[in-house]
Amino acid sequence: MAALVRAVLAGVFAASAMVGCVKHEPFDYTAFKEENPRSVLVVPVMNNSPEVGADDYFLATISVPIAERGYYVFPVNLTRALLADAGLSDPGLVHEADPVKVARLFGADSILFIKINNWQSQYLVLTTQVKVGFEYLLVSGKTGRPLWESSRTLVYSPDTVATGNVIADLAVMAIQAAATKLAPNYVPLARQANWQAIAAVDTETGQDMRLQGLHPFLFGPRHPLYKTDWEAKKSEASSSSRPAPRSGRSRRGSGRGSPQVSADEN
Amino acid sequence: MSGQRCSAARVVMVVALAWLGGCAKPGLYHWGNYEDSLHKLYRNPASRASYFAELGEIIRTADEKGLRVPPGLCAEYGYLHYLNGDIDGAVVYWQREKDDWPEAVVLMDTLIANARAQEEGEADGEESADAVLWTEPEPAMSEVVQEDSFEGSGEIVEMLQENPPMELEGEPETEVLP
């Protein structure tokens, strides 16, 4: 029995280790609140990693957490097509364009830039582990100033279903590991990453990850909890000596693929 | 022995994760299979018809059950009508997006105006300054080939094909940021 308890503890510990350790540094939401955006334009994701199609996984799963957080989110596929039609088919060009001008064309209050900087697959005996490094940057559509950002690394293992029978489960896991190598589906990974960043929610456990130092979008105008998180965050922020998020950093100066933001964790 | 214990721990961990994952999150909107069908479209552009069907299904189901249609969904559905050459259908859903979401008014007005102008064969010189991006709305199949960048049809794409790659980099500077 004691062994079982130990095993459970080990399991829970391992699970929490999977999402990485996070610095508990309060985030300054001053600019976010001042701007108080109603809408978010998600432009095509920049993929600086060797994983072909990683950007598509992230783009396809970003709208749900933003909308469910209470914001109007422009349809990502239409956005991408319109930008491509204007000659901005390369995400790098979009990321370097003047955000104010892009936002004005769409009538967007804010623009979200996502970059995938790292993607490492590790093929273990019974499973495949993927380590993904990415960064999110929300800028004002009016001034181009940064409103929010999040930069993280996520370690992901595909879901497994257990029957309680060790031999059967090992067989299932082995098959899954093989299947993952053949036809990986990283939609759940990208969903997890996006939900954690935007809403600080762990999609596997439903857990609120603010306790682990994640700083999500504030609740938006369409959410019943809109502005309920303003006061708490304010007092948190006031205890921080940190200035507005990367206020000095010029977006335009951050060329393609440059390691501009030191990770919040790792 | 230690190997067995390790396996047992792994299985217990998996059970714990499965148990913890049981709780579903309540949502503001009815999404259907939006994410998966969009990703399938990216994987295989030929699956646009099933993406189109899925979006229609989401909107129908939400309307029937009194659930809320997510932001952007009607705009996207209208765009798929447009790609199919159904401009009236496109305008219906763009108008609905505009009615449901004041946040979308600027973009929907632009799209509706450009689609109408295109329909009337008067695409040139009629648009407001805000419409500069889309004075020449893309023809029906550009969506299908856009991932492979320059194989698509349409004025801008043709222009890009004629230009060498170096000039291509400068294109949006002159086009979008006058």
Query: Which of these, B52, B155, B10, lies nearest to A164 by C-alpha position?
Result: B10
Split at pLDDT 50, 70, 90, the class of A217 is very high
pTM of the model as a whole: 0.70
- Asked if A85 lies within 8 A of B137 by C-beta distance, the reply is yes
CA distance B60 to A201: 29
- Asked if A7 lies within 8 A of B20 by C-beta distance, the reply is no
At B157 the pLDDT is 35
* Residue found under tokens 């933001």: A261
Q: Quick one: how many helices (H) and strands (E) in chain A?
A: 10, 6
A9 is a domain residue: no
* The two three-digit tokens of residue A124, written as one number: 């273990």
- Asked if B16 lies within 8 A of A56 by C-beta distance, the reply is no
Residue A13 has pLDDT above 80, yes or no: no
At A248 the pLDDT is 37
CA distance B115 to A218: 36
**A41 compared with A209, residue with greater pLDDT:** A41
> What sections of B1-104 are H helices per DSSP?
2-20, 34-43, 48-65, 73-83, 87-100
CA distance B32 to B55: 8
Q: How many domains are there within chain A?
A: 1
**Phi and psi at residue B151, to the nearest 5°:** -85, -10
Q: Which residues from A are below 8 Å from B70, CB to CB?
A: 63-64, 67
Q: Which of A123-132, A202-211, B42-51, B128-137 shows the highest mean pLDDT?
A: B42-51
At B143 the pLDDT is 39
- Asked if B160 lies within 8 A of A87 by C-beta distance, the reply is yes
B170 Cβ under 8 Å from any chain A Cβ: no
Q: Which residues from B are below 8 Å from A63, CB to CB?
A: 34-35, 70, 72
A226 Cβ under 8 Å from any chain B Cβ: no
Q: What residue type is assigned to position B33 of the chain?
A: N
Residue A258 has pLDDT above 90, yes or no: no
The secondary structure of residue A204, as a DSSP letter, is: T
Full residue range of the structural domain in which residue A186 is found: 23-226+234-238
A176 Cβ under 8 Å from any chain B Cβ: no
Residue A18 host element (H or E): helix A2-18
Closest partner residue to A82 (CB to CB) among B9, B38, B133 is B133
Decide: A138 and A148 in contact? Cβ < 8 Å.
Answer: yes
At A128 the pLDDT is 75
* Residue found under tokens 């019974």: A126
Q: What is the pLDDT of residues B109-145, one digit of tens each?
A: 999 999 998 888 744 554 443 333 454 444 433 333 3
Residue A118 host element (H or E): strand A110-123
A12 Cβ under 8 Å from any chain B Cβ: yes
Q: Which residues from A are below 8 Å from B43, CB to CB?
A: 53, 56
Mean pLDDT of chain B: 70
Contacts of A70 (CB under 8 A, 6+ apart): A219, A220, A221, A222, A223, A225, A226, B28
The secondary structure of residue B34, as a DSSP letter, is: H
B84 Cβ under 8 Å from any chain A Cβ: no
Closest partner residue to B13 (CB to CB) among A15, A75, A104 is A15
Decide: A88 and A94 in contact? Cβ < 8 Å.
Answer: yes
Split at pLDDT 50, 70, 90, the class of A8 is low
Radius of gyration of chain B (CA): 22
Percentage of residues in chain A having pLDDT higher than 70: 68
Q: What residue type is assigned to position B83 of the chain?
A: L
B142 Cβ under 8 Å from any chain A Cβ: yes
Q: What is the pLDDT of residues A227-250, one digit of tens each?
A: 999 885 444 444 433 333 433 334
The secondary structure of residue B130, as a DSSP letter, is: G
Split at pLDDT 50, 70, 90, the class of B35 is very high
Mean pLDDT of chain A: 79
A55 is a domain residue: yes
Closest partner residue to B8 (CB to CB) among A7, A222, A223 is A7
At B36 the pLDDT is 95
A246 Cβ under 8 Å from any chain B Cβ: no
The CA-atom distances, in angstroms, between A200 and each of A63, A176, A213 are 15, 28, 9
* The two three-digit tokens of residue B47, written as one number: 């699956």
* Residue found under tokens 């295109």: B118
Residue B69 has pLDDT above 90, yes or no: yes
